[in-house]
Chains A and B, each alone.
Chain A
Amino acid sequence: MKNIKQSLAVSLWFIFLTFPLMVVKVNTSEQSVQWRWMNILWVGVGIFILSFIWRYALARKEANQMAAQSGQDGQDKPSKIHVLLENPEIRTKAILAFLAFVLVFPWVFDTYQSTIMISALIYVVLGLGLNITVGLAGLLDLGYVAFFAVGAYAYALLNYHFGLGFWTCLPLGAAFGGLFGVVLGFPILRLRGDYLAIVTLGFGSIVKIVLENWSDFSFGPSGIANIERPGLFGMQMDIAGSTTYIYYIMIAMVILTIVVTGRLKNSRIGRAWIALREDEIACVAMGIDMARTKLSAYALGACWAGMVGVLFAAKTTFINPASFTFMESAIILSIVVLGGMGSILGVILGAMILILLPEYLRAFSEYRMLIFGAAMVLMMIFRPQGIISNIRQKYEFKGLKEKSENV
């Protein structure tokens, strides 16, 4: 009874809240008002039901938290997926099955599907790259797309002016990305947390504005067309063939990224990043060079964006500054946070969901972004650690474990 009363109150509040925007629609040039009273009903009933679900979900979340706190080391309790993945047999089989699926994908589905998949894979690499900066080193970057743009323009311009090919530009794009990471990272080493966020946001817009205005250099808003697709020993390929080819390049790039970031995470520098994220002062006190660690996080994160930017330019064969807006940065950041900061598998899943879902949800095209925004909020409320949370590396004595298992 109390619940019903509460839900009624909530739904009345929302009816009041949404009244002017949902119900009234004025047309000032024709001097007419359209009253859409039916909307009140939808809002009222919808919110009434939602508030029940909301309360239930919040209560469950709290119960979980309580359980986690009372249980010993509850924070790091691995999820079911983790348990599954820990099992080496299942893990190998899953990876093999997945690899097989990935390799035959372009032959089973048509070119259109492959193209969509390439876009999703591009975001996988972007997500994994940003994961280094944000997930591991804890440096909030709201202008990541700038490095993506640097890579794309590096290839487009080098190709246009000097005729350099895709394979030459791929490492160059990564290098330019990394260089920009250092250049932009250097002045803001001293900044912390949210100051960093706004400055990176500023850098992101500055890069876009420069690309728009400096026409002699970047061809301005009209962009660069006819960028070469990646070549294969000078072979001529039709569109379907080259899409498949790019698809495989992209798969290779994703695997490379996974391997490298996976190794980085457990390396000396990777641990330094995590330490820096957790506590800067303690970290410096322990003798870690803060400037170098931060800069390396920026540069390495930016490298991947630069590299995949080259591929992006090669795939679309046309780029202009409109592709590199703040929204892109926000989406890449959402991939990292939704997927689970620091977790590689999480970021991959996050990218797949955020990029493929809207593609296949074309039917909802109007409501797509609305659902997207709401999903971000709900996800954060009910699973703030992301889809697959990163479990802390635990170090155990191998021998001890084996012994106890043998007994």
Chain B
Amino acid sequence: MKRFTLLMAALVAVAGLASPVLAADTIKLGVAGPHSGDLAPYGIPTMRAAQLVVKKINAAGGVLGKQVELLIQDDQCKPEIATNTATKLVTEGANVVLGHICSGATKAALGIYNDAKIPVMSPSATNPGLTQSGDYPNFFRTIASDDMQAKLAVDFAINKLGAKKIAILHDKGDYGKGFAEFAKKFADESGKVKVVLFEGITPGAMDYSSIIQKVRRENADVLIFGGYHPEASKLVAQMKRKRLKTAFLSDDGVKDASFVKVAGKDADGAYMTGPRDLSTIPLNAAATAEYKAAYGEDPGAFFQEGYSAALALLNAIQKAGSTDYAAVTKALRTEYVDTPVGRIKFDARGDAEGVGFSVYQVQKGKFVEIK
């Protein structure tokens, strides 16, 4: 056994020395996200955004006179695969990484990038801990975090809906429960409303009538739900059936065309938060047009955020004058850049300044932004 350990030590030492440091004659932009499997629709638009941006920038002469090279890796949104993907990108010498898409996978991979001093920017990982924990100084994102959404939802419930009692439900998932916990925290802190109910529902369960009755018994004015659209449509349908008048307010996991499609008429009147309507920004329209020209369809989820992240990363390298970690992160935090999500720079924690959410309401089957 002892010999074995010695052998091991030797082998590992060799492995440590052998890891290659390649001389860079291109700027390497890593792209990681789910490109296969059931979550692929969330990853592919970002990958395409990176391809479009890189094509455009290379045609215009590249960054710092060098061409940009894409390293694309599939992580299927699984933490155990994401660590592997990250390893591969680091060994291939990525200078900056665009990704990952899912919060869990991002969390698993970030440590690896942090050790290797590589800036990472996600277009979609909204978990607040990623920026707020301070564990990942190399992390940035072009989407607002869940706590901002929760704050907006609670403020809306208090100020616009005049709520006195709030019931908060969630789907026990990472995203839904996180949103719900922040909503509870902000509601408690405001001192103007009382959280009368805070519970998780079982996704996929046959009916939610007991929990609906409970909301009625507690006389809640607003029901805030953290989760995705399948449960949300069941909830609104059962609320209508039980003749419950409580307002329904949810998150951007519900602001999805499927919600209106499945819930039908029951969806009318429901509120939800979602990324601000950006279609008036010229760059945004241009990016959408580029996508349509290349792929002949409307861009999917997180395309604009992914496009913005690719622009922001490459712009930072340009401004920093090198791919040095300290210089690039400093440039990200100080230099403004025009992107499809607006004119942004990043704060000390890595959240984008100038990106925000609005509240929408379903009216006659359409999402209408409430100003």
* Chain A residues in the interface with B (C-beta under 8 A): 29, 110-112, 115, 119, 212-213, 215, 220-223, 225-226, 232-233, 235, 237-245, 248, 252, 312, 315-320, 322-323, 362, 365
Q: Determine if A241 and B12 form an interchain contact, defined as CB atoms under 8 angstroms apart.
A: yes
Q: Determine if B87 and A320 form an interchain contact, defined as CB atoms under 8 angstroms apart.
A: no
Q: Determine if A241 and B129 form an interchain contact, defined as CB atoms under 8 angstroms apart.
A: no
Interface residues of B in 31-64 (CB under 8 A from A): 36-37
Q: Which residues in A have their C-beta under 8 angstroms from that of B111?
A: 225-226, 317
Known: A112-B88, A239-B91, A243-B87. 16 other contacts (CB 8 A): A213-B200, A221-B172, A221-B174, A222-B103, A222-B127, A222-B177, A223-B174, A225-B108, A238-B115, A240-B19, A241-B16, A244-B12, A312-B80, A315-B83, A318-B104, A365-B36
Q: Which residues in B have their C-beta under 8 angstroms from that of A226?
A: 111, 135
B112 interfacial contact with A, CB 8 Å: yes
Q: Determine if B107 and A225 form an interchain contact, defined as CB atoms under 8 angstroms apart.
A: yes
Could you say which of B11, B84, B112, B173 has the most chain A C-beta atoms within 10 Å of its C-beta? B84
Q: Determine if B107 and A223 form an interchain contact, defined as CB atoms under 8 angstroms apart.
A: yes
5 example contacts (A-B, Cβ-Cβ < 8 A) are as follows: A226-B111, A240-B15, A243-B87, A316-B80, A365-B36
A312 to B80, CA, bound (A): 9
A314 to B96, CA, bound (A): 26
A315 to B16, CA, bound (A): 18
CB within 8 A of B112: which of A233, A239, A244, A245? A239
B261 interfacial contact with A, CB 8 Å: yes
With A112-B84, A316-B83, A365-B37: A232-B19 Cβ-Cβ less than 8 Å: no
User: B138-151: contact bitstring with A at CB < 8 Å (1 yes, 0 no)?
Assistant: 00000000000000
Interface residues of B in 125-160 (CB under 8 A from A): 127, 129, 135
B79 interfacial contact with A, CB 8 Å: yes
Q: B-side binding surface: helix, strand, loop or mixed?
A: helix
A110 to B111, CA, bound (A): 21
Q: Determine if A318 and B174 form an interchain contact, defined as CB atoms under 8 angstroms apart.
A: no
Say how far B111's CB is from chain A's closest CB, in angstroms: 6
Q: Determine if B104 and A237 form an interchain contact, defined as CB atoms under 8 angstroms apart.
A: no
Q: Determine if A232 and B15 form an interchain contact, defined as CB atoms under 8 angstroms apart.
A: no
Say how far B198's CB is from chain A's closest CB, in angstroms: 11
A323 to B4, CA, bound (A): 32
Q: Determine if A222 and B178 form an interchain contact, defined as CB atoms under 8 angstroms apart.
A: yes
Q: Which residues in B have their C-beta under 8 angstroms from that of A315?
A: 80, 83
Q: Which residues in B have their C-beta under 8 angstroms from that of A252?
A: 4
A172 to B110, CA, bound (A): 28
User: B77-114: contact bitstring with A at CB < 8 Å (1 yes, 0 no)?
Assistant: 00110011011101100000000000110011011100
Q: Determine if A320 and B104 form an interchain contact, defined as CB atoms under 8 angstroms apart.
A: yes
Say how far B30's CB is from chain A's closest CB, in angstroms: 14
Q: Determine if A318 and B12 form an interchain contact, defined as CB atoms under 8 angstroms apart.
A: no
Q: Determine if A248 and B83 form an interchain contact, defined as CB atoms under 8 angstroms apart.
A: no
Say how far A206's CB is from chain B's closest CB, in angstroms: 13
Q: Which residues in A have their C-beta under 8 angstroms from that of B36?
A: 362, 365
B196 interfacial contact with A, CB 8 Å: no
Say how far A111's CB is from chain B's closest CB, in angstroms: 5
Could you say which of B15, B115, B173 has the most chain A C-beta atoms within 10 Å of its C-beta? B15
Q: Which residues in A have their C-beta under 8 angstroms from that of B84?
A: 111-112, 115
Interchain residue pairs A-B with the least CB separation, the first 5: A318-B108, A241-B15, A316-B80, A239-B87, A221-B174
Say how far A145's CB is from chain B's closest CB, in angstroms: 14
With A220-B177, A221-B173, A319-B79: A238-B16 Cβ-Cβ less than 8 Å: yes
